[in-house]
Amino acid sequence: MKTNLIILFCLTVSVSLAQTNVNYTTHGNGEKKVIVLHSWMDDYESWKPVIQYLDLEKHTYTFIDIRGYGKSKHIKGEYTSDEIANDIFNVADKIGWKEFYLIGHSMSGMAVQKATLLDSTSRIKKIVAVTPVSSSGFPVDEQTLLFFKSIVQNEDVTNKAFRAFTSNRLSETWYKNRTKRHIEVTDEKAQLAYINMWTGENFSYEMKTVKVPFLVLSAQYDHPGFRLENQKKAFENFKNVTFIEIENSGHFPMQETPIFLAAKIEEFIQE
């Protein structure tokens, strides 16, 4: 009986440890290795419209579902930028990538900035930050914070949020489908905790020492806080940063302008 209990305990520990590995999906078999992360309102599948326009002979793309989202929805965590950054390196280790390019969208745009601070052996070659939260976070007043929290698992408010971040200029079908997808693929506890990350964390002062080349992509019809003029202020202390504004797009260019986004990403990687 005692032996059985010990075996059961060991199996339980093994399963628990295995569940700390976030899930990912890989496309392509090219020499250039790229890791891609999604936003606070999506999982990896938000990038699917882009994949068909990527050069998968020259590049290999690994798309991560962060903790609490998509294929990693069941995986618990602390839900911080450090944790996301460490998960990035753990995935790179698992698939055997010594060096890689890194792409983050919105909330994960903040996490990829943190990854450069934890990159003690210079594994990250370049960063693409798509409509990103900056390293200084996205500080908000109490009313706005309550609005963001009310988005979680609430279809009506989620729909309004998608409209706010795209200047309410897309089709009703898109808003309906994105709202439904958001509710399905996100864990409530994780989403609430990540709000604390991207509204409360601030490591901008540390970023002054980072020399990794950055491409920051803003969008013409995004929420005003994410538009080009504010991104330039947020990234003004970076050593090596290029800015591009995507016309005719809101906060989700992988959905709104996938061909252009794919082109700009691969131009930057190939430079």
Q: How confident is the model over 86-107, as pLDDT tens digits?
A: 999 999 999 999 999 999 999 9
* Residue 186 predicted with pLDDT over 80: yes
Round to whole Å and give the CA distance between 38 and 246.
18
In a domain, 1, yes or no: no
In a domain, 130, yes or no: yes
In a domain, 18, yes or no: no
In a domain, 7, yes or no: no
Which whole number is the average pLDDT over 16-38? 85
Round to whole Å and give the CA distance between 263 and 143.
38
Q: What residue spans of 141-257 are helical by DSSP H? A: 142-151, 155-164, 172-185, 188-200, 228-234, 253-256
In a domain, 16, yes or no: no
Round to whole Å and give the CA distance between 34 and 262.
13
In a domain, 211, yes or no: yes
**Mean of pLDDT over the chain:** 92
In a domain, 264, yes or no: yes
Round to whole Å and give the CA distance between 250 and 235.
20
In a domain, 96, yes or no: yes
Give the chain's length.
271
Count CB atoms within 10 A of the CB of residue 111: 29
Which residues, at least 6 apart from 221, have a Cβ–Cβ distance to it below 8 Å? 166, 167, 169, 248, 249, 250
The 124-130 sheet, strands edge to edge: 24-28, 59-64, 32-37, 100-105, 124-130, 214-219, 241-246
Looking at the 3D structure of the chain, how many domains does it have?
1
Q: Look at residue 239 in the predicted model and tell me its pLDDT.
A: 87
pTM for the model stands at 0.91
**pLDDT tens column, 8-19:** 333 333 333 344
* Residue 60 predicted with pLDDT over 50: yes
20: confidence class by pLDDT, cuts 50, 70, 90: low
Q: Look at residue 68 in the predicted model and tell me its pLDDT.
A: 98
CATH number, domain of 166, equals 3.40.50.1820
